[in-house]
Chains A and B, each alone.
Chain A
Amino acid sequence: MGIKMNQYNMEELMPLLARMIRRYTSNESTSIPNHKARQILGSMLYCMNLTDDTDKEEPDGTLLANQMIIKEIYDYGFQKKKEKIEKAKKLFIHIKESFLEIDNEYYRSTILEGMPAFFEHYDLEFDAQNSILTLDYPLVNPVTKLSGIDLIYQYLRSFQVEQAFLSCFNTTTVNQMLAGYHTMYKELVINVCSPVLRCVLVCEIINEDFLQLKLKKESIEGFMKLLLTLSENELSEHLLAALKRVLNILKIDVNLYSNYFAGEVLFFAKELHLYRMDLDALEKVIPTIKHKYYVENEYFKDGAVMTDQLLRNLIEEISICSLLSEKLDLVKARVTSLNDLREVLDTCFWGEEYNAVFDLLTRNEKDYLLSDIDEKVEFKTGLLEWEKALILYKTTRTR
């Protein structure tokens, strides 16, 4: 908190605190626990602190403190924070309306679940300095030194800047690129904007279409040769110039985004310079859509899952079929979701029969199932028989 209590006269501070405590206890108690008193005093000082306000148009806090008595400063500050809550609510609604379907749990839950909870529970009068949320989704530029509504408002502003940048790209392409960045990208606490920005900048420097977010291995090798000729400063300049070109092409606020992404670009330059001689490391630093997860047409979407009862009935029907063709006919006719197919594969098919089921699937569907199996392998989770069979099927078919 930027404000200091010794800025104020204790005799002036005390009546205001007493008034607030009376309001807090509804005038039914002359004393409160120390931690509550600290919280209320903190809340009071938070509202009186106008100097670190995130809105530049706000009047200077020091000037105000010189001209007003404590009660007036508090009332003025309280009103300003109240207005900020309204502005934050409007900004949140705007973000929600244009929210991107990025497949990352923290990206989604921090905004769509966290923010409504914040607005519901935020207590400007008695606990204004409490930000309530942990704001798990990390931003390119973390918001520091702020708390309460100031933090939330600034976080939303930064989130909006990043979301506007991401909205210039096809969401499916972004999700595919994130899958290339890390197989667990849906559950990882990662910033989504940063890998996109990195890929875009490298694409721009080597004259590839940055909207595709796709770099071939040869392109990265070519970029590596360029890196070897540049110092870190030269590389930073290249990247910053590429950023400006990208922003111009995307027709978004060049100054705003240049400033916002400057720190990230310089950090990226450092990493690139550090790994300039190691192709494997460079491939990890430069996120791109990777062939393994690259789906030519549409990003895979699973069909409708059937109810437990219907699934049980189907499994019973398949189990009493004596011919494989009968079983396959039932699968073709009734199964519309890979989630259901997993259950059916697990309970109704054996040995060589698996391959016949896999033959029914498209490449996208098989890739989707394999990506889940890859995760299980990565985390050393035991595989089911059909999963082992699918790995074998893939190996033999691609030979």
Chain B
Amino acid sequence: MDDQLMERLLQKRQISDLQAVQECNSYTGKFGLVLSDKEALELLRRRREVLKEEERFEMQGGILPKLIYEFCDSPYIYQNNYVETIDELQRIFYLYKNESQDELSDDELIAYMKTYFDEECGGSLDYLEETSLYELCQNRRTGYQNRDMEDMHGHKDESI
């Protein structure tokens, strides 16, 4: 499958993907977060760029709605930084899908990201990207899994 075909496939899905992102507004509105059509389109455009950079292929629906639903209640996200933060989060998400060699499922990775972002990182995207997730993937690769479980639950998980 060449890059042109990838591009064509992604273009075909634009409308349905846009609808999926717009539908998030009805839920995120409760937290004072709303995306305009232009912002939603911009996020989808950025997704295409990131997917290209990270050499990944995404199916219909994509990860954006999941990220939005998961992060909309974060104390560090508000309307003024909403688009930029979601944009960065989706870039970090694809980066660490690759870094984890796809060993983390979408839900697992988003859950780690959310916990780190709200707790250890105090809302810092740089810290999330360069420290927390980096260590998580390092530990995964070296087979040392206790560290991330300890972090997730605030205490060492004895069962592992």
Binding partners A and B: yes
Chain A positions near chain B (C-beta within 8 angstroms): 5, 10-11, 14, 17-18, 21-22, 25, 28-38, 41-42
Residue ID in chain A nearest B61 by CB atoms: A30
Task: Give A2 Cβ to nearest chain B Cβ, in Å.
Answer: 17
Q: Which residues of A contact B56 (CB under 8 A)?
A: 31-34
Task: Give B55 Cβ to nearest chain A Cβ, in Å.
Answer: 5
Inter-subunit contact B9/A10 (CB<8 Å)? yes
Task: Give B42 Cβ to nearest chain A Cβ, in Å.
Answer: 19
CA–CA, A231 and B28, complex, Å: 88
Inter-subunit contact B58/A31 (CB<8 Å)? yes
Inter-subunit contact A42/B63 (CB<8 Å)? no
Inter-subunit contact A33/B102 (CB<8 Å)? yes
Q: B1, B12, B57, B61: which contacts A11 (Cβ < 8 A)?
A: B12
B160: interface (CB < 8 Å): no
B105: interface (CB < 8 Å): yes
Inter-subunit contact A34/B97 (CB<8 Å)? no
Q: A17, A30, A34: which contacts B63 (Cβ < 8 A)?
A: A30
**Residue from A10, A21, A33 with most neighbouring chain B CB atoms (10 Å):** A33
Inter-subunit contact A34/B12 (CB<8 Å)? no
Inter-subunit contact A14/B12 (CB<8 Å)? yes
CA–CA, A1 and B130, complex, Å: 43
Chain B positions near chain A (C-beta within 8 angstroms): 1, 5-6, 8-9, 12-13, 51, 55-63, 66, 94, 97-98, 102, 105-107
Inter-subunit contact B8/A31 (CB<8 Å)? no
CA–CA, A31 and B102, complex, Å: 9
Task: Give A32 Cβ to nearest chain B Cβ, in Å.
Answer: 6
Residue ID in chain A nearest B63 by CB atoms: A30
CA–CA, A31 and B52, complex, Å: 12
Inter-subunit contact A5/B60 (CB<8 Å)? no
Q: Which residues of B contact A30 (CB under 8 A)?
A: 58-59, 61-63, 66, 106
Inter-subunit contact A29/B97 (CB<8 Å)? yes
Residue ID in chain B nearest A21 by CB atoms: B59
Q: Which residues of B contact A34 (CB under 8 A)?
A: 1, 6, 55-57
Q: Which residues of A contact B60 (CB under 8 A)?
A: 14, 18
Residue ID in chain B nearest A5 by CB atoms: B5
CA–CA, A29 and B108, complex, Å: 10
Q: Which residues of B contact A10 (CB under 8 A)?
A: 8-9, 12
Task: Give A17 Cβ to nearest chain B Cβ, in Å.
Answer: 8
Task: Give B102 Cβ to nearest chain A Cβ, in Å.
Answer: 7
Residue ID in chain A nearest B9 by CB atoms: A14
Contacts A33-B98, A33-B102 known; 14 new A-B pairs at CB < 8 A: A10-B12, A11-B12, A14-B9, A28-B105, A28-B106, A30-B61, A31-B63, A31-B97, A32-B57, A32-B102, A33-B55, A34-B1, A34-B6, A34-B55
Q: List 29 A-B contacts (CB under 8 A).
A: A5-B5, A10-B8, A10-B9, A14-B9, A14-B60, A17-B9, A17-B59, A18-B60, A22-B59, A28-B107, A29-B102, A29-B105, A29-B106, A30-B63, A30-B66, A30-B106, A31-B56, A31-B57, A31-B94, A31-B106, A32-B56, A32-B57, A32-B102, A33-B55, A33-B56, A33-B98, A33-B102, A37-B6, A42-B1
Residue ID in chain B nearest A6 by CB atoms: B5
CA–CA, A17 and B1, complex, Å: 12
Inter-subunit contact A33/B57 (CB<8 Å)? yes
Task: Give A258 Cβ to nearest chain B Cβ, in Å.
Answer: 43
Inter-subunit contact B59/A41 (CB<8 Å)? no
Q: Which residues of A contact B6 (CB under 8 A)?
A: 34, 37
Residue ID in chain B nearest A28 by CB atoms: B105
Task: Give B96 Cβ to nearest chain A Cβ, in Å.
Answer: 12
Knowing A10-B9, A29-B105, the reply to whether A38 touches B59 (Cβ < 8 A) is: no
CA–CA, A86 and B94, complex, Å: 40
Residue ID in chain B nearest A19 by CB atoms: B59
Q: Which residues of A contact B8 (CB under 8 A)?
A: 10
CA–CA, A31 and B100, complex, Å: 13
**Residue from A11, A14, A37, A38 with most neighbouring chain B CB atoms (10 Å):** A37
Inter-subunit contact A18/B59 (CB<8 Å)? yes
CA–CA, A30 and B5, complex, Å: 18
Residue ID in chain B nearest A13 by CB atoms: B9
CA–CA, A348 and B103, complex, Å: 61
CA–CA, A42 and B2, complex, Å: 11
Task: Give B26 Cβ to nearest chain A Cβ, in Å.
Answer: 21
Closest 10 CB pairs of A and B: A28-B105, A37-B57, A31-B58, A38-B1, A18-B59, A34-B55, A41-B1, A31-B56, A29-B106, A34-B57
Task: Give A8 Cβ to nearest chain B Cβ, in Å.
Answer: 12
Residue ID in chain A nearest B105 by CB atoms: A28
Q: Which residues of A contact B59 (CB under 8 A)?
A: 17-18, 21-22, 30-31
Task: Give A329 Cβ to nearest chain B Cβ, in Å.
Answer: 62
